[in-house]
Amino acid sequence: MARKLAVIGAGLMGSGIAQVSAQAGWDVVLRDVTDEALKRGTDGIKASYDKFVAKGKLEAHDADAALARITATTDLDAAADADVVVEAVFEKLEIKHEIFRTLDKLVKEEAILASNTSAIPITKIAAATERPERVVGTHFFSPVPMMQLCELVRGYKTSDETLATAREFAESVGKTCIVVNRDVAGFVTTRLICALVVEAAKLHESGVASAEDIDLACKLGFGHAMGPLATADLTGVDILLHATSNIYTESQDEKFAAPESMRRMVDAGDIGRKSGQGFYKH
């Protein structure tokens, strides 16, 4: 398999995808719009490799070699010779359209264009290109180096060959894949977590049970590693609100209508761990 990867977006997800891919032997171009964003991303990758080395899970020379396989740049043209391109930017369709329109003109004909989106239909993203059959969803999970799942999403026109190449790529970087055959907003995993978080937030809002007890019920009753409200705090209440709003807009399904309390939390800046306060104090 071809081994040149371009990752567009050096945030938590993009840098994580770059990290596991470089470690698996891919040559990676990591692109973002500012040098500051690139520095944050590459510093995070180095720190993560250092942790794996300290724990004996990675040899120091392998970490150095992986880091050397990553090239950070603000130039989107650097993606031109990539075999696989993964977009991992903010969940806004207009931003993704702009990137995919540019990539469509830039990358070679046989390259596949993938999006790490968790909620936007792949068909909508692919519509910005002249090659919708070469566009696919590769939804990785955070933190990418630790989470084994990759959700492969087939857009309305995604070809079998593109899906197979995406699976080969994801498996080559150590992930286990599930396939989403119908391009519904939120796919499988985001729909499930959003439905659970929305219901948990409604139970919490109406005083049925405390955040701690709702999460404990899911951990001990269902064997979940983390309860839905703790998950919302970790992911970002704002990010989950954005995702569930996208799904609600597409589906008009009431179970994805977030409660007012969740919206007010976001208005007030109580968005979870990154702000120090969400459903819990951090």
Q: The tokens 């087939």 sit on which residue?
A: 154
Sheet containing 176-180: give its strands across. Answer: 70-73, 27-31, 4-8, 84-87, 112-115, 135-140, 149-154, 176-180
Q: Is 48 annotated as a binding residue?
A: yes
In terms of DSSP bridges, do strands 84-87 and 4-8 run parallel, antiparallel, or are they unpaired? parallel
Distances (CA, A) of 46 to 19, 120, 256: 9, 31, 38
Radius of gyration of the chain (CA): 19
> How many residues make up the chain in this entry?
282
Nearest CA-CA partner of 158 in 180, 176, 186, 140: 180
Helix axis angle, 35-54 to 12-23, nearest 10°: 50
Contact 117, 140 (CB under 8 A): no
Contact 18, 45 (CB under 8 A): yes
Q: Is 115 annotated as a binding residue?
A: no
Contact 123, 183 (CB under 8 A): yes
Nearest CA-CA partner of 129 in 176, 87, 177, 97: 97
Nearest CA-CA partner of 88 in 32, 146, 154: 32
Tell me the two tokens of residue 144: 């990418």
Detail the residues annotated as belonging to a binding site for CoA: 48, 55, 118
Detail the residues annotated as belonging to a binding site: 48, 55, 118
